[in-house]
Structure 1
Amino acid sequence: MTKARFLVLGAAAGGGLPQWNCGCRNCVAARDPLSGLKPQTQSSLAVSLDGERWVVFNASPDLRAQIEHNPCLHPRDLRDSPISSVVITNGDVDHIAGLLTLREKQAFTLYATPALTDTLRQNPVFQVLDPAFVRQTVVQLDTPFSPLPGLEIRLFAVPGKVPLYLETADLQLDQETDQTVGVEFRLGARRAYYIPGCGSLPDALATRLDGADLLFFDGTVFEDADMIAAGVGTKTGRRMGHMPIHGAGGSLTALSALSIGQTIYVHINNTNPIWQAGPERDLVEAHGFQIGHDGMEVTLAANP
């Protein structure tokens, strides 16, 4: 029976936990070994069917540390890597900067949509990925492909925006284009999803997710104004392209209305109160949802 291993390499949003320049309640706790809150790296997921070959979804700036913290990703020979491929879901710095870590003449395939491929090609720093070793493959939306033998996935548009460094005066939010995508995994009749960034949950997306066996979903902020309330920023979650967990139009209520076997929040901002015990975390767990963390692993078996 085919089994897929889903390994959370990084559960935090951009900047990680603690963020280098932040003294918020969570960051202070994450720096204190006695607090019980462990540091978390930036958003990334690894998936394997055999434990030998892995595909990494989003190459975070913390990728080198993530590899070292997970022995299944260690080299097995003089020059080697179990990472066979990398898939990018948007062009945010916290999802592409780690590609620069993979520049040491190691073969792998990089999958991205046309828009995200253009983003990488227009930035000359990514030319360090030697095309003699790194094959860049353009993937169209809703077209099945296999980043690992036997693993079929699809990329699909979810509401989002362009990366911060591409924003202009006419910025549009909640655009459904190939700039921000989710990942659908199909294992026989079973389905899993990875959506680390999502601005809202329209009916079409809810219909797609209904009946899923496993969902990793955007948990950036608890309330839309988390960062404002914490005194560390001026933008709401929605302005950054992320729907809140709680409040009007929040993901907790919307996803609870669907039939999903297991829902796990990832891409959690350093200011989000669900990192620690309290009413916000209690509410999430009361709905049967889980808070992702570095090293968390979930196995999903295909139906016989």
Structure 2
Amino acid sequence: MKILVLGSAAGGGYPQWNCNCALCAGVRSGSLQARPRTQSSIAVSQDGQRWVLLNASPDLGQQIRHSPSLHPRSAPRHTPIEAVVLMDAQIDHVTGLLSLREGPPIELYCTPCVFEDLSAGLPILPTLQHYCGVRWHPLPVGDADVTAEFHIDAAPALRFRALAIPSKAPPYSPHRNNPVVGDNIALVVDDPVTGECLFYAPGLAQIGEHELSAMQSATCVMVDGTFWTDDEMIAAGLAPKTAKALGHLPQSGPQGMVTTLASLPARRKVLIHINNSNPILDEDSDQRRELQARGIEVAHDGMEIEL
């Protein structure tokens, strides 16, 4: 299984266009040892020829241009991107679908409530029907059904499983303040021949029994790296909300993401969806050194993993 990180930042990217915090200012001036990042999305493939997008970032056009594996090859008009799976309906995970409008119909995999949000609250899907069209493949996650296995024609040797996880629906969702099962999913991608397994969850509010079990079975865990501390945005004077209020489990603390990752047997442990306020972006920071000591990686644009 091949994994390509197209974008590794949270919404707004890094540096964020309107942010002058120390981390954004430092990367702009070159005074900070840090890499710019686009908004998060990854692609997976069983053969390096046919690719499945996991989320579609607003920066997708730029990401494709910088990823030779996703360039057209076999015809005057061609794309090796053959399907898209959405983890949620958040604007920084779905608006890249509009960048695919010149191509063939989009084979879209998402839950019914995500489909609803993208049909009404943020009507991207009705808009795309006037261009390339969308073929929806429902992921039956909702109510009592917290998991769903499915297959994708572009990757027939891989097994996919959606797992409902706690997090926030987007502001334009009718259930923003009343979360429902299926608003957010994690994805397990399994290769039954090699035994390799990816657990992918760029947004994760908490780690319960189901999430932990899936993470313990994975050989590569790629998860929410948005914030280092719960009050990070408040302390930096950037926003009045905590990480948990925004639907993200912070990395630090005894119940934080770092402690959980350090306990896992996975061969690769990777943080993705990193906010511009997170000190792990500074490669010389104490926080980055702590991650390195615990065997935890920080995703960057263009990162390639082969399992």
CA distance in 1, matches of 2:217, 2:48: 27
2:105, 2:170 → 1: CA distance? 27
1:110·1:136 contact (CA, 8 Å) conserved in 2? Answer: yes
8 Å CA contact 1:197–1:217 kept in 2: the answer is yes
Cα deviation for residue 35 of structure 1 reads: 4.2
Identity %: 39
Matched-pair contact (CA < 8 Å) for 1:157–1:176: no
* Pair 230,134 (structure 1): closer, same or farther in 2 beyond 3 Å: same
Whether 2:255 is the aligned partner of 1:249: answer: yes
Question: What residue identity is the alignment partner of 1:139?
Answer: L
1:31 aligns with 2:37: no
- Aligned partner of 2:157 in structure 1 is 150
2:229 maps to which of 219, 223, 226: 223
Partner secondary structure for residue 165 of structure 1: coil
Q: Which SS does the other structure have where 1:144 is aligned? A: strand
CA distance in 2, matches of 1:79, 1:127: 24
The answer to whether 1:265 aligns with 2:271 is: yes
Judged with a 3 Å threshold, the aligned counterparts in structure 2 of structure 1 residues 255 and 167 are, in CA distance, closer, same or farther, namely farther
3-state SS of 1:26 partner: helix
2:44 aligns with 47
Deviation at residue 263 of structure 1 after TM alignment? 0.7
Moved more, 136-145 or 279-288: 136-145
In 1, Cα distance between the equivalents of 2:124 and 2:204?
27
Q: Partner residue of 1:129? A: 128
How far apart, in 1, do the equivalents of 2:291 and 2:180 lie? 27
Aligned-pair RMSD on alpha carbons? 1.8
In the other structure, the counterpart of 1:185 is: 189
Aligned-pair CA distance for 1:32: 3.1
SS of corresponding position for 1:210: helix
Q: Which shifted more, 219-228 or 141-150?
A: 141-150
C-alpha distance in 2 between matches for 1:228 and 1:21:
17
Specify the code of the residue in structure 1 equivalent to 2:77.
R
Stretch deviating more after TM superposition (86-95 or 119-128): 119-128
**What's the counterpart of residue 102 of structure 1?**
100
Counterpart residue type for residue 83 of structure 2: S
Matched pairs, number: 294
CA 1:30 to 1:252, structure 2 compared with 1: closer, same or farther past 3 Å? same
Cα distance, 1:117–1:31 mapped onto 2, change above 3 Å: same
TM-score norm. by structure 1 comes to 0.91
CA contact (8 A) 2:15 2:276 kept: yes
Q: Give the equivalent residue in structure 1 for 2:144.
A: none
1:295 aligns with 2:299: no
In the alignment, which residue of structure 2 is the partner of 1:164?
171
Partner-residue secondary structure (3-state), 2:26: helix
Give ranges in structure 1 of 5+ residues lacking alignment: none
Distance 1:30 1:80 in 2: 36
Q: Do the aligned partners of 1:103 and 1:128 also contact (CA within 8 Å) in 2?
A: no
Q: What residue in structure 1 maps to residue 89 of structure 2?
A: 91
Structure 1 position 271, deviation (Å)? 0.6
Q: Does structure 2 retain, via aligned residues, the 8 Å contact 1:11–1:42?
A: yes
Aligned counterparts, 1:279-294, within 5 A: 279-294=286-301
**1:156 match: secondary structure:** strand
> What are structure 2's unaligned runs of at least 5 residues?
142-146
SS of the residue aligned with 2:221?
strand
Indicate whether 1:199 and 2:196 are aligned: no
SS of the equivalent of 2:118 reads helix
- Partner secondary structure for residue 164 of structure 1: coil
Contact 1:110–1:137 at 8 Å: present in 2 too? yes
8 Å contact kept, 1:84–1:107: no
Q: What's the CA shift string for 1:31-79, capped at 9, x where partnerless?
A: 2356442210001000111111100000010000000010111122321
Q: Which amino acid aligns with 1:146?
A: H
